[in-house]
Structure formats: structure tokens, C-alpha cells
A = this chain, B = another copy of it.
Amino acid sequence: MIVRRNLKLKMILHYTWRQLAYYLFLSTSIVVLHDIYEIVIFNIPSYTIAALGTALAIFLGFKNDHAYDRWWEARKIWGLMVNYSRAWTRQVTTMVMSLDSHENEEIKAFQKTLVYRHIAFVNALRVFLRIKNTYNKDQSEMFEDDNTYADTKPFLSEEEYKIFCSQDNPPNYLLQQQGSDLNLAFRKGWLSDYRFVKMEETLVDFNDIQGMSERIKNTPLPRQYTFFSRVFVLIHCTLLPMVFVSELGWKTIPIALAVSFVFLALDLIGERTEDPFENRLEDTPMSSLSVTIETNLKEQLKESKINFPKKYEPENGIVF
């Protein structure tokens, strides 16, 4: 997620220079052919591109609206993660209890296990989601973040960590473990039937959070829309200098380039925003949210501030 108000030119050119070079070359060629060699074959009236306007507006509007919707839904999902993480911790610390004061220590340790395993779940899901999709692997990125399952190690017992790493779906394994522990607490009498079910409901919320994230991760915006929007922007911007050249002469070059850049940017922004879990600068800020969650939960466990993770600081105006 970008937080600085102004984007740096360098960052913009990193992602657009190839196309801009093409449009520069194209409009220069057309101007040269038209004005110097007087080849008028590329000269077309303005209403030809006007006819494309409607279709282009629908495609580009579509792509950007739905890309943003995906991005914002991803952020909402991880917002729920924050909310329910806090709720889960409160429930663990206030609803799991024993009326026998001898068990106090045992209960405390048990509560800590449930909360730490949850922190592990949050980090595990982040790592699970940040594995790049094959169709996004070939793009070179200016900024990336580190994400490995080892981040969950401090929050799991050694044995659990080993099994965890061998699973097909590691985050789901942790939820299953939480369920087993609730079952255990119920059998020990630390949870009534009713509180057991209530806490299971909170686990279902985490199932939802994981599943909704996976949905966005594994389902790209329909390619039929994104592919054609790219193609039609190309067609439209290729026709642009042909429309401009007869009246504008050499001014065609800067103006066609400027207008092309606008359409190019519109298409590219949609393209970059649509996948919010690809370890890129437009990502949902899962790393910083993980830090927030860990801090909040440890505070709720009344741990000393020394144990808190380091505050997350944006670098280059980017929050991962």
C-alpha cells in the first residue's frame, strides 16, 4: 500500500517506460512520414476514435472499479482479522476459566497457547497468501517484502511447528488445532457447552477470513475483460497520432504522448490494483497489520512492553 501523497517519477517510469517508448516512436514516425515525406495514408478523421470512446470507457471503468473492489474487499477482510483477533483474545482470557483456583497457572498457560497459536495463524495466512501466482511471476518489482513460514515459529510449540510445515494448507491446520483445544477445555470443564460453541463461532469467522482471502487470491478478474481493455487501449492510442497529425504537426508528439500516457496509466493502475496479495507495493498491508495484531494481543495478555514487536515503519512511502 502506498501512503505518500505524491508518486515518484522514477516509480512511474519503472512500470511504463516500455510502452511510452513505443508511443514516442510511433508518433514521431507518423509526424515524420506525414510532414516530411507527405505520406497521408495515416491521416484519419477524429470521429473514428470518438466511436471507440464508449467501449473504452466501459472497459476501463469496469477494470478499475472491480480492481478497486477486490483491493478494498481484501483490506476489509484483513480488517475483520484485526477485530476478531482482539475479540478472540478477550474471549480466551475471560471465557475460559476454572472455578478451582489451583488450576490458575494451567489455565493461564492454556490461554497463552490459544492466543499465540492465533498470532501464528495470522502470520501463516499472510505467508500463504503472499506466494506469487504463476501468472504474476514474470513481472519485475521495485519493492518486495520478506514472508516465510519461519515467522510463525516463536508462536508454536516445536512439534506443532513441524507438523504445521508439512501440511497442504497450514493455516487451516492451526484452526483445526484450536478446535481440538476447545474440545479439550470443554472436557476439562473450563468451558461450558455454551461458551464452547460461542468460541467455535469465532473460529468460523477465521475460516471465513481465510476462505475469502483465498477466493480473491485464486480468482483473477475475468481475463476476458482485462485482456481486451489492454488491447483496446493499444488500438485507441495507436490511432491517436493519426487523428492529430494533420492539424497539429510536430505538436502531435507531446500531445499524443500525454493523452496516451493518461490511458496507459488508467489501464496499468487497474492491472496493478486487482491482485492485492502478490507481495507488491500495492498490496494489502498484511505485514503491518500482523505487527498491529501481535502488539494488541500481547497487550491484552498483559505482557510486558519489551515483548512487543518493533513498530512497523513505512519505507519509501510504502506499507507492506
CB-CB under 8 A from A59, the residues of chain B are: 266
- Is the beta-carbon distance between A2 and B223 smaller than 8 angstroms? yes
Identity of the chain B residue whose Cβ is nearest the Cβ of A163 in the assembled complex? B302
- Is the beta-carbon distance between B94 and A48 smaller than 8 angstroms? no
Asked whether A51 and B259 contact (CB < 8 A) given A61-B58, A204-B87, A223-B2, the answer is yes
- Is the beta-carbon distance between B7 and A87 smaller than 8 angstroms? no
Of the candidate stretches A30-38, A118-126, A187-195, the one touching chain B is A187-195
Mask for A289-313, Cβ within 8 A of B = 1, else 0? 0000001100110000100100000
CB-CB under 8 A from A135, the residues of chain B are: 3-5
- Is the beta-carbon distance between B168 and A296 smaller than 8 angstroms? yes
Of the candidate stretches A21-29, A149-157, A239-247, the one touching chain B is A239-247
Q: How many residues of A contact B (CB 8 A)?
A: 115
Mask for A226-261, Cβ within 8 A of B = 1, else 0? 111000100100001001100110010001001100
Does A44 interact with chain B (Cβ within 8 Å)? yes
Give CA–CA (A197, B95) in the complex, Å: 8
CB-CB under 8 A from A235, the residues of chain B are: 258, 262
Of the candidate stretches A109-117, A140-148, A170-178, the one touching chain B is A170-178
Identity of the chain B residue whose Cβ is nearest the Cβ of A53 in the assembled complex? B54
CB-CB under 8 A from A45, the residues of chain B are: 247-248
Does A316 interact with chain B (Cβ within 8 Å)? no
- Is the beta-carbon distance between B240 and A75 smaller than 8 angstroms? no
Query: In angstroms, how far is the closest chain B Cβ from the Cβ of A218?
Result: 8
Does A131 interact with chain B (Cβ within 8 Å)? no
Give CA–CA (A131, B53) in the complex, Å: 39
Give CA–CA (A227, B1) in the complex, Å: 14
Copies of this chain, complex-wide, total 5
Give CA–CA (A38, B175) in the complex, Å: 76
CB-CB under 8 A from A224, the residues of chain B are: 2, 7, 269, 272-273, 282
Contact partner of A83 (CB less than 8 A), chosen from B4, B93, B95, B210, is: B210
Identity of the chain B residue whose Cβ is nearest the Cβ of A47 in the assembled complex? B46
Asked whether A79 and B215 contact (CB < 8 A) given A169-B296, A200-B91, the answer is yes
- Is the beta-carbon distance between A172 and B86 smaller than 8 angstroms? yes
Mask for A48-76, Cβ within 8 A of B = 1, else 0? 11111111111111101110100110011
Would you list the 9 A-B pairs with minimal beta carbon distance, nearest first?
A83-B211, A79-B215, A94-B183, A94-B179, A2-B223, A90-B179, A46-B47, A224-B269, A55-B262
User: Can you show 22 pairs from A to B with CB atoms below 8 A apart?
Assistant: A2-B222, A3-B135, A5-B135, A7-B224, A46-B50, A48-B255, A50-B50, A54-B56, A54-B57, A58-B64, A80-B208, A83-B207, A86-B175, A87-B204, A87-B207, A94-B180, A95-B183, A168-B305, A169-B299, A222-B269, A224-B273, A235-B258
